[in-house]
């Protein structure tokens, strides 16, 4: 009988520990950075990419978060739409959607990019996964007409879906060679830190608005 009592007590203790541990695990706020090479960390070392640095910055603020890197170098909005469903797992608490730069660099019609981004936001909404839209701006050499149409995509979609907008993902880095790789397009590690610093308040608000780590 003593053995049965000890076994029952041990079982209750074990179940109690599991109950205590499980909520802690479930509390982690999961973010998916979904985008192209700017999100993927093109030519950067381990821990230097945007998602890694964003996770570190949020953790430094005391937030229990995990930021997954779902960036694919060279990806266009069409490629992103094709892989969205399997790249963003169920239970994701926030998606940072960053696509369109490669569409722009290839001179793809802004209407196509907008249609694809619209479809991605629609899919996320259907799955009840909140999004933060990270915008891009057209290069001036594409002409004022293209620039006007392309740049309007992101604020229009953010308003349509009621999602927060970070207007320009490369804010503070574009046009600053000391913060870019030799290609003049991608951020170097210092550039990534600037990007994270500038977008951090927007991400923090999006986390708070969507329940935060519980």
Interval 10-34: pLDDT, tens = 434 344 434 443 444 448 999 999 9
- Please answer whether residues 116 and 133 qualify as being in contact, where contact means their C-beta atoms are separated by less than 8 angstroms: no
Instruction: For residue 144, tell me if it sits in a domain.
Output: yes
Respond yes or no: is residue 37 known to be catalytic: yes
State the pLDDT at residue 214.
55
- Show the domain range for 191: 28-209
Which one is catalytic: 5, 90, 178, 183?
Answer: 183
State the pLDDT at residue 56.
98
State the pLDDT at residue 12.
41
Instruction: For residue 14, tell me if it sits in a domain.
Output: no
Instruction: For residue 214, tell me if it sits in a domain.
Output: no
State the pLDDT at residue 194.
98
CATH of residue 86's domain is 3.40.50.1110
Instruction: For residue 18, tell me if it sits in a domain.
Output: no
Which one is catalytic: 52, 103, 151, 186?
Answer: 186
Instruction: For residue 10, tell me if it sits in a domain.
Output: no
Provide, rounded to the nearest whole percent, the portion of the chain with pLDDT above 70.
Answer: 87
- Please answer whether residues 151 and 140 qualify as being in contact, where contact means their C-beta atoms are separated by less than 8 angstroms: no
Provide, rounded to the nearest whole percent, the portion of the chain with pLDDT above 90.
Answer: 86
State the pLDDT at residue 4.
44
Instruction: For residue 8, tell me if it sits in a domain.
Output: no
Which one is catalytic: 37, 52, 77, 151?
Answer: 37
Would you place residue 213 in the very low, low, confident or very high pLDDT band (cuts 50, 70, 90)?
confident
Instruction: For residue 21, tell me if it sits in a domain.
Output: no
**Count of structural domains, the chain:** 1
- pLDDT of 89 higher than 70: yes
- Please answer whether residues 133 and 121 qualify as being in contact, where contact means their C-beta atoms are separated by less than 8 angstroms: yes
Instruction: For residue 39, tell me if it sits in a domain.
Output: yes
State the pLDDT at residue 27.
82
Report pTM. 0.88
User: Which of 183, 179, 181 has its CA nearest to residue 194?
Assistant: 179
Residue 190's Cα: distance from chain center in Å?
A: 19
Would you place residue 155 in the very low, low, confident or very high pLDDT band (cuts 50, 70, 90)?
very high
State the pLDDT at residue 163.
98
Position of tokens 């169920």? Answer: 90
Distance CA(102)–CA(108), nearest Å, equals 8
What tokens appear for 183 in the block? 């290609």
- pLDDT of 115 higher than 80: yes
Sheet strands side by side (includes 29-35)? 65-71, 29-35, 94-98, 131-134, 165-166
> What is residue 47's three-state secondary structure?
coil
What tokens appear for 53 in the block? 């640095």
Distance CA(139)–CA(73), nearest Å, equals 19
Residue-level length of the chain: 214
């Amino acid at each position: 009988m003593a053995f049965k009592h000890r076994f029952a007590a041990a079982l209750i203790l074990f179940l109690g520990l599991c109950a205590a541990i499980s909520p802690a695990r479930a509390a982690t706020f999961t973010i998916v950075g979904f985008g192209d090479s700017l999100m993927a960390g093109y030519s950067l070392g381990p821990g230097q990419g945007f998602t890694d640095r964003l996770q570190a910055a949020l953790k430094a603020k005391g937030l229990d978060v995990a930021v997954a890197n779902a960036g694919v170098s060279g990806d266009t909005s069409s490629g992103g739409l094709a892989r969205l469903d399997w790249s963003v797992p169920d239970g994701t608490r926030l998606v940072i959607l960053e696509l369109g730069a490669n569409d722009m660099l290839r001179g793809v019609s802004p209407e196509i990019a907008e249609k694809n981004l619209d479809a991605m936001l629609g899919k996320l909404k259907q799955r009840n996964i909140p999004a933060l839209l990270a915008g891009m701006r057209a290069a001036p050499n594409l002409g004022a007409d293209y620039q006007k149409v392309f740049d309007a995509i992101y604020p229009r979609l953010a308003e349509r879906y009621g999602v927060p907008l970070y207007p320009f993902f490369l804010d503070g880095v574009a046009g600053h060679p000391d913060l870019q790789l030799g290609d003049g397009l991608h951020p170097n590690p210092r550039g990534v830190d600037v990007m994270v610093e500038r977008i951090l308040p927007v991400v923090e608000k999006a986390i708070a608005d969507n329940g935060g780590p519980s």
